[in-house]
Amino acid sequence: MAKDYDITRCKLIIWDLDETFWNGNISETEVSFKPEVLKFVQELALKGIMNSICSKNDSKIVKNFFINNGLKNIWDLFIFPSVNWNPKGGRVKEIIQKMNLREENVIFIDDNLSNINEVKFYCPKIMTAEAFQIPKLIEELYLVNDYDFEYTRLKQYKVLESKLEEKEALNLSNEEFLRSSNIKIALKKDCITHIDRIFKLIERTNQLNFTKARFTKEELEKYLNDTGNYDSSYIIVEDKYGNYGICGFYILEKEKQKLIQFLFSCRIMNMGIEQFIYTYLNKPELEIKGEVSSELNYSPNWIEIVPDLEIKKKEQKQDYRNILFKGPCDLYSTLGYIDTEINIDTEFPYWNKKPVYILAHTHTAFIEQTHKFSEEKLAELTKRFPFPDSDEFKTKFFDKKYNLIFLSLLTVTHSGIYKNKTDGSYAFFGYADCDITDENNREKILAPLPEDAKRLNILMLNQFKKEYVFCGNPPVETVLENLKYIRENLDSKTYLILILGSEIPCSKTQSGYENMAERHKILNSAVRKFAVNYNNIDLIELTDLIHSENDYGDCINHFSREVYYNLAQKIIEKANRIFGEDCLKIKN
C-alpha cells in the first residue's frame, strides 16, 4: 500500500486493535501489546494528536484487558472508543463527527485492507495506513513540532465526550441540551498578553476559520497594537462541563466594519458561539474564504456574556523556566522519555508547504546570521540562488525567555556550508564531503539531473563559486566563530548545552556520512577547548553512550532507542543541576 498519510496534518488517529495495536486476535487467542505502539500513543497525546479505537470486539473484554495489564493510563488516552461488532465505515465516520474534525485530518490504521477500503467509502478524504506502516508513522512523528505537555486538548475532548454521553442519556434535542449547558463567554481585549496562544489558534484553525487569513506573529502584533483602527478580542468559553480556554478570536476594521480575522476552535463547534459573536458585532462585512463547517444564519439566545472567565492554566501560566531544543532528529527522539511541567520549545527539521526540507536552520552558521542580519538582508539572501529558503531564518533561539538551550552539533559535521566572500553571509547545500565550488565534483553533483537541466545548473554553480567559499570538512573555524557569536549574543542567563557527535566508527553508512567519526573527533576537540572558556556552556558527549555497533541505527548520527533513552537521562541530569531542582524526570 502506498503512503496515504501526512502526520503533520493529523489531529486524530483511529486504531484497529487485533493484529494492529497488539499481536493476535483477542477473541480467539492470547494477545500481547506492541511496546512501540503503546509508546507512540503516549507521544501522540504529548503532541496534541488524539487517539481513538474502532475495533470489532467485545467492549468489556477490551477495556478489561488494558486495565488488567496495568495500562489504564493508556486506555484513558483514547477518545470516543468504538468497540462492537458493527461494520467499521459508519463507526469511523461517527467518531470524526462527534469530535468535530475533518476527515482529511484523521488517520485510520488497520491490518485488513477491506476494512480500510470500507472506511474510505464512508470517509473519502480520510488518511489511512496499514499495520505494517506503523514504524514509518512512528519515525515521522518528529515532523510535528508542537507539544501539549499538560494534555490540554485531551482534557477538552474528554469534556466533549462526557457532554455527548449525557445528552444521549437525557434524550434531549440539541437546542434543549445547549440551553441546559449554561454556556458563558467572555470577550477579552488584552490580546497582546496572549499573542502566542492566539497566533497558534490562527495557524491551526481551519473548520471554523472564516477568513483563512494567515498572519506572521509580527503582522498580528501590528494589528493588535493599532487599537485606533482595529478592534480585537479573544473569546473564552465555559459551560457546566468545563472551561474551554481561549477558543475564538476576531479582528474588526472599525471604519469599514469589516472582519479581518474571525475564527474559532473546532472544540466549541455546534455550541452557537460563532453565530452569537457575529450577531453581537452587528453582523459586519465578512468575506468567507474556502469551506467553513458552520453557517452564520441564526442568532442563539442560550449564551450569556460575562465580564471575566478563567483562562486555562497552560495559557495563564508564565513559568520562569523555558527550554529550547534545537538540532536534527537526534534531539526529538529523546523528548518522548522526558516528563516535565516546564515549557519546552523545539526547532527541528521539517518539510514546509512548498515543499522544501528545512534543515539549515539547525546549523550554527544559520543561527548566527538570523541574529546578525536585518530582515531585509535575510530576504535578499533568498533571491540569489535556489537556496536558502526563507523558512531557514525562522527561529526563537535568541529569545531571552530561555533559561536553557540544548543545541546538537550533528548538522555541522555532515552538511555543506559556504561563506560569502563579500558580506560574510552563509549558504547551506549538500554534504560537507562534496564541495560544490570544486569543479572536480561537478559530475557527482549533476548526475541525478536530466541533461536539459544540467546546463542551467552549471551556470548557477559557476556564479556560486564566484561569490562563496567552502568552509571545510568539517568547518571547524566557522563553527567556533558561530559559537562565539552565539554565546556572546545569547542572554547571559541562558545556559547553553552542546551535544557532540559520536567518535566511535560505524560500519553502517549513508551518502555524505562517510568517515564521520573522524570528522566528529576533529570538531569535538575544538569545541571542548572553546567551551572551557565559558561558565555557562556545558557538553553532552554521544560517544559516552555508544558501547557497540547495535547502538547505531542506519548511520553514525542515528541511534537505538536505548541510546535516546540514555541521552534523555543525560539531558535531565544537566537540566536539574542547572535549575537546582528535580523539574525533569524520566517518564514512567
Highest mean pLDDT among 119-133, 263-277, 305-319, 326-340: 119-133
Rounded to an integer, what distance in angstroms lies between the CA atom of residue 482 and that of residue 419?
Answer: 12
Note the pLDDT tens digit of each residue in 551-573: 998 899 989 888 998 999 999 99
C-alpha to C-alpha distance for 55 and 81, rounded to whole angstroms: 8
Residue range 219-247: mean pLDDT, rounded: 92
Q: How are beta strands 22-23 and 12-15 bridged, if at all?
A: unpaired
Confidence of residue 267 (pLDDT cuts 50, 70, 90): confident
pLDDT band at 512 (very low <50, low <70, confident <90, very high): confident
Query: Which of 202-211, 342-351, 517-526, 544-553 is predicted with the least confidence, judged by mean pLDDT?
Result: 342-351
Angle at 76 between CA 138 and CA 3, to 5 degrees: 25
Q: Which CATH architecture has domain 155-314?
A: 3-Layer(aba) Sandwich (3.40)
DSSP 105: G
The mean pLDDT value for 515-520 works out to 96
CA–CA dist 411, 397 (Å, integer): 16
pTM for the predicted model, two decimal places: 0.54
- Stretch 520-530: mean pLDDT: 98
For the ranges 168-177, 261-270, 370-379, 532-541, which has the lowest average pLDDT? 168-177
Q: Pick from 365, 410, 361: which is nearest to 541 by CA?
A: 410
| CA gap 211, 194 in Å, rounded | 21
pLDDT at 221: 95
Which of left, alpha, beta for 283 (phi over 0: left; psi -120 to 50: alpha)? left
What is the rounded distance in angstroms from the CA atom of residue 132 to the CA atom of residue 149? Answer: 29
Q: Are 441 and 434 in contact (CB under 8 A)?
A: yes
The cell for 95 is 467518531
Grid coordinates representing 167 are 445528552
pLDDT of residue 2: 59
Instruction: Write down the residue that cell numbers 540544548 correspond to.
Output: 406
Which pLDDT score is estimated for 40? 96
The CATH classification number of 7-143 equals 3.40.50.1000
Q: Count CA atoms within 13 Å of residue 422 on its CB side.
A: 5
Residue extents of the structural domains in the chain = 7-143, 155-314, 322-432+473-586
SS3 175: helix
Over residues 221-250, the mean pLDDT reads 92
- 7-143 shares its CATH topology with 322-432+473-586: yes
Task: Write down how long the chain is.
Answer: 588
Query: What is the structure's pLDDT at 301?
Result: 93
Residue 313 is predicted with a pLDDT of 44
Looking at domain 322-432+473-586, its CATH architecture is 3-Layer(aba) Sandwich (3.40)
80-94, 233-247, 312-326, range with the lowest pLDDT: 312-326
Asked whether 126 and 83 are in contact (CB, 8 A), the reply is: no
Alpha carbon 248 to chain centroid distance? 21
- Look at residue 353 in the predicted model and tell me its pLDDT: 57
